[in-house]
């Protein structure tokens, strides 16, 4: 799909600065050396990378998702708990003496307005053991579930609602 | 005294995390052998690469103290968190496009979800002359009842 490149200069500037900060943090984390020579090399390569990204028009919502709300971190914590619960449920299925499988391909509607939000929702579904996003339709995902215990519509609705809350900073 | 107590707590936390993570890894590996077909085995692999790997990484974080190694471990955990569902989706979507279907499917809402998407890769759709995937199953069931 073609990327949307219509955005004003201010937004692009914010994204460029955010990318610079993130890349400097990445360099410092991976290097761990703080000699002036290495810091200068790092800064030079970071600036060159940001220049290349801007020239390739990569500074959009997809590459630099600063439009996401910081509450995304809280969502990840909630998701980690859900992953743990679902993992235990899958382990129960695997370790049961008679495996009660009832595989299903079910429809899970989404209501996110941005592609980034839909991606986060689909990845969250896949990340939770027991459910895998297979394909996407016009207004819903096709999700494969291991047993009917994983197909609760309430659970998907709750997850989708939480993603919708964090997908855009201001509306 | 205080520091050694903190070390002890960290060691205990690491032990618990490693035990839990290893449990998930073992059960996931067991599930890959035991489950009957491709689609159900994907879920066992999911247990390994989300719960198992992440919990063991968390256990390692307790051992590094708070320095640059912790940040690197967080980076690895984040990378796994983003890439493992992407890889799982790529594999499952490839299988779906190739026409592989789950064994003994109890509920199938493929048509409701994808019927209005002409580009969706439903394999048997290409065999039909018209874009009406529901038609042949209806006619065959009509013949069966008649």
Cβ contact (<8 Å) for A101 and B54? no
Residue A67 lies in a domain: no
Please give chain B's pLDDT, 146 residues, in tens. Answer: 577 888 899 999 999 999 999 999 999 999 999 998 899 999 999 999 899 999 999 999 998 878 888 999 999 999 999 999 999 999 999 998 888 888 888 888 877 777 777 666 665 554 444 444 444 444 444 333 33
Which residues in B lie closer than 8 A to residue A78 (C-beta atoms)? none
Rounded CA gap, B42 and A41, in Å?
43
Q: Distance from A155 to chain B by nearest Cα, in Å?
A: 18
Residue A36: pLDDT band with limits 50, 70, 90:
very high
Q: Parse chain B into domains and list their residue ranges.
A: 2-101
A93-145 pLDDT tens trace: 999 888 888 888 888 888 888 888 999 999 999 999 889 999 888 888 889 99
Q: Is A93 within the bounds of a domain?
A: yes
Domain extent at residue A115: 72-167
| Angstroms from B145 CA to nearest CA on chain A | 26
Question: Do both A80 and A45 map to the same domain?
Answer: no
Q: What is the largest CA-CA distance in chain A?
A: 64
Across the interface, do A29 and B110 touch by the CB < 8 Å criterion? no
- The answer on A115 and A153 residing in a single domain is yes
Give the residue from chain B lying closest to A147, CA to CA.
Answer: B106
β-pairing, A140-145 with A131-136? antiparallel
Range scoring the smallest mean pLDDT among A33-42, A70-79, A148-157 = A148-157
> Is A16 contained in some domain?
yes
pLDDT of A125 reads: 92
Closest-CA distance, A57 to chain B, in angstroms, reads 23
pLDDT value of position B138: 41
B113 and A107 in contact by Cβ < 8 A? Answer: yes
Examine the pLDDT at A26 and tell me if it is beyond 70: yes
Q: Sheet holding A140-145: strands in order across?
A: A131-136, A140-145, A104-109, B107-108
Indicate the number of domains in chain A.
2
Same domain for A48 and A81, yes or no, is no
Asked if the structure places residue A130 within a domain, the reply is yes
Residues A44 and A19 in one domain: yes
Judged against a pLDDT cut of 90, whether residue A52 lies above it is answered with yes
Residue A170 pLDDT: 65
* pLDDT for res A133: 92
What is the average pLDDT across A8-25? 89
Per the CB < 8 Å rule, is B34 touching A148?
no
Concatenating the DSSP letter of every residue in chain A gives -PPP----HHHHHHHHHHHHHHHHHHHHHHH----HHHHHHHHHHHHHHHHHHHHTT--STTTS-TTS-TTHHHHHHHHHHHHHHHHHHHHHHHHSSS-----EEEEEE---SSHHHHHHHHHHHHHSTTEEEEEE-SSEEEEEESSGGGG-HHHHHHHHHHHHHHH-S--
In a domain, A147, yes or no: yes
Domain presence at residue A60: no
Choose the mutation target among B46, B68, B76 for the interface with A, i.e. most A CBs under 10 Å: B46
In a domain, A127, yes or no: yes
């Amino acid at each position: 799909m073609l990327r949307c490149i219509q955005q004003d200069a201010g937004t692009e500037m914010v994204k460029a600065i955010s990318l610079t900060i993130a890349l400097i943090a990445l360099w410092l984390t991976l290097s761990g050396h703080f000699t002036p020579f290495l810091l200068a090399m790092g800064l030079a390569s970071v600036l060159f990378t940001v220049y290349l990204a801007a020239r390739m028009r990569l500074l959009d919502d997809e590459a630099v998702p600063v439009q996401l709300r910081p509450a995304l971190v809280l969502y990840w914590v909630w998701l980690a708990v859900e992953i743990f619960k679902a993992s235990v449920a899958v382990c129960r299925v695997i370790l049961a003496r008679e495996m009660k499988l009832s595989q299903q391909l079910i429809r899970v509607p989404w209501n996110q307005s941005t592609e980034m939000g839909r991606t986060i929702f689909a990845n969250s579904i896949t990340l939770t053991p027991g459910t895998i996003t297979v394909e996407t339709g016009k207004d819903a995902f096709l999700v494969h579930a291991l047993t009917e215990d994983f197909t609760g519509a309430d659970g998907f609705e709750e997850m989708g609602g939480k993603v919708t809350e964090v997908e855009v900073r201001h509306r | 005294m205080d520091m050694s107590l903190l070390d002890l707590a960290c060691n205990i936390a690491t032990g618990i995390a490693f035990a839990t993570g290893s449990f998930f890894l073992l059960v996931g590996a067991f599930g890959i052998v035991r489950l009957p077909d491709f689609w159900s085995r994907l879920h066992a692999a999911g247990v390994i690469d989300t719960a198992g790997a992440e919990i063991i990484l968390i256990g390692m974080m307790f051992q590094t103290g708070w320095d640059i190694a912790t940040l690197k471990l967080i980076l690895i955990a984040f990378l796994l968190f983003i890439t493992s569902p992407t890889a799982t989706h790529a594999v499952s979507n490839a299988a779906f496009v190739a026409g592989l279907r789950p064994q003994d499917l109890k509920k199938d809402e493929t048509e409701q979800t994808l019927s209005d998407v002409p580009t969706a890769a439903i394999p048997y759709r290409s065999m039909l002359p018209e874009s009406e995937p529901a038609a042949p199953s209806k006619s065959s069931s009509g013949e069966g009842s008649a």
